[in-house]
Amino acid sequence: MKFIYTIILLSLCCSCAVSHRADYHFNAKLPPQKMQEDAVLLKKILEANHPSLYWYTPADSLDYYFSITMGKLQDSLTELQFKNNIAWFVSKIRCGHTSVTPSKEFIETVSHLRSKQFPLYLKAWGDSLVVLGSLNAADSVLTRGTVITAIDSIANRNLLDSMFQFISTDGYGDNFKNQVISGNFPLYYGFAYPIKDSFLIEFRDAQGLPVKTYVQLFVPVTDTTGPRQNSPKNVQLPGRKQIKQNKLLSKRSFTYDTSSQLGYMRLPGFSGGHLRQFFKETFATLQKDKIPNLVIDLRENTGGRISLSSNLTRYVKTSTFRVADTAAAVTRSIKYAKYIRGALPYQLAMLFTSHEKNDGKYHFTALEKYVYHPYANRRYNGNIYVLQGGYTFSAAAMFVIALKGQQNVKIIGEETGGSEYGTSAIHIPTIVLPNSGVQISLPLYRIVPNRTQEQTGRGIQPDVPVMPSSYYIKHGVDHKMEVVKQLIQQSIKP
């Protein structure tokens, strides 16, 4: 076993190394043959290893989409253009854990650059677009909360559909895509539409009347004046302890108010942040101070470690539970491993933890069979309000699935990005295409919490739907938290 651990450690160290191409330029054109070779290789890797390649899209349909992609690779393209074509194809798999990113060199290069871009940040949901902010600081017309109806005479629905095609998500839900676009509308607008000097914006004024205006392209200004002479000289930088505390707060936080009888736990993810200790201390506080209401905010939580999600579930679940009754891979000998960063440690793990069953799949039997029990003395028995949204994904969605329908739990917000029926995850190495360096995440297991449930291809629906609105965006009010407070007031008996 010591030898195996040594191999795993060495492979992890090697996989973390970044290959640098000395002559790399992010705007250089890739020749058609090299891009086509990468695309064909990617398809072979997916066909050999992906556990849910045809879960939502039949093989003949995926072949059709691939032929369209190959047709777009007949002329030289930049890496970003090639990546977007690959992302379009990969999105047709409808797997949120199979996503596409540029090469490491591209990411490192452009992270230091500021580029021209569409100037508005917009919140997206349904067919709605609402202004969050503008890169043009002087814009006094399109302020926060303004309702947009079209850009360059293209209606919102068509705009969003054009941007959605570059984003992978589970099944048929669009809410994860809405969240991604809301986080960086200028970026995804630039993927779908040409960047030009000005854009025609159609919107509603304060009286709800249709109005049109032009906004200018955002052009970053390079500061050529040198160091500022009047900058503060005695700025106190945060110490190591403060930096560590800020880092922990970015991973998790808990506040409570005895007067309002409400505890609030924010969990942006299930990784890092010493979460086991955090959960233990938080629920001890809730029990000691007899706080009757708890909000668990998973709106930013895109997942993480299943073991940490399950650990939190044990504090609030009233009955035994399993993470999945199906956790299956199509192989435990990863094909084309030389093109998959991190393949070796995952392959070794699968050799020891997966077993072939009658269906021809390799099952993670320990995960399928393991039954979790709620904590006997530390379980929270108060009212629980789980906030979810489009970013609620993977291990976070599993947490919601485990609690949905429990008597003291209400799920509030929007449809999750993670599918209710199941997802593909657990081990997720990265494909690195040899000619372009473009990266594609590759989940190795299909996970289904409850296979008797109907597969609709949609996310988890809330018990109490609360959608965004221009009014609450304009006034900076957390509408979902306001609904929680109303529900608590309604539950208090006079």
SS3 state of residue 401: helix
Q: Which two tokens stand for residue 386?
A: 């789980």
- Residue whose token pair is 């399928």: 368
Residue pair 78/28 in contact by the 8 Å Cβ criterion = yes
CA R_g for the chain = 24
pLDDT at 14: 37
- For 388: left if phi > 0, alpha if psi spans -120 to 50, otherwise beta; the answer is beta
Identify the CA nearest to 386 among candidates 266, 288, 287: 266
- Residue whose token pair is 């290789």: 41
Q: How far apart are the first and last CA of the chain?
A: 64
Helix%, strand%, coil% for the chain, nearest 5: 35, 20, 45
Q: How far is CA 157 from CA 33, 128, 383, 467, in A?
A: 36, 8, 38, 17
Strand order in the sheet with 445-448: 354-356, 362-364, 326-329, 445-448, 423-425
SS3 state of residue 397: helix
Identify the CA nearest to 246 among candidates 266, 268, 273, 270: 273
> H or E segment at 328?
strand 326-329
Identify the CA nearest to 45 among candidates 448, 444, 445: 444
CA–centroid distance for 347 within its chain = 25
Q: Would you list the DSSP string of 237-301?
A: ---HHHHHHHHHHHH-EEEEETTTTEEEEE-S-BSSTTHHHHHHHHHHHHHHTT--EEEEE-TT-
Boundaries of every domain in the chain: 120-216, 241-491
Give the separation between CA 385 and CA 493, rounded to whole angstroms: 18
pLDDT at 229: 54
Query: How many residues appear in the chain?
Result: 494
Rounded mean pLDDT for each run of 10 residues along the chain, 494 residues in total: 36 40 77 98 98 97 98 97 98 97 91 87 97 90 96 98 96 95 96 95 95 94 59 62 70 86 95 93 95 97 95 97 95 95 92 94 94 95 97 96 97 96 95 97 95 91 97 96 94 72
pLDDT at 244: 67
Homologous superfamily assigned to 120-216: PDZ domain (2.30.42.10)
Pick the CATH number of 241-491 from 1.25.40.10, 3.90.550.10, 1.10.274.10, 3.90.226.10: 3.90.226.10
Q: Would you list the DSSP string of 438-473?
A: -EEE---EEEES-TTS---S-BPPPSEE----HHHH
**210: Cβ contacts below 8 Å, ≥ 6 apart:** 149, 202, 203, 204
Handedness of CA 54, 350, 310, 9 (dihedral sign): negative
Strand 198-204 vs strand 439-441: parallel, antiparallel, or unpaired? unpaired
pLDDT at 393: 94
Give the separation between CA 40 and CA 69, rounded to whole angstroms: 10
What is the torsion angle, in degrees rounded to the nearest 10, for the CA atoms of residue 5, residue 9, residue 11 and residue 16?
A: 160
pLDDT at 451: 86
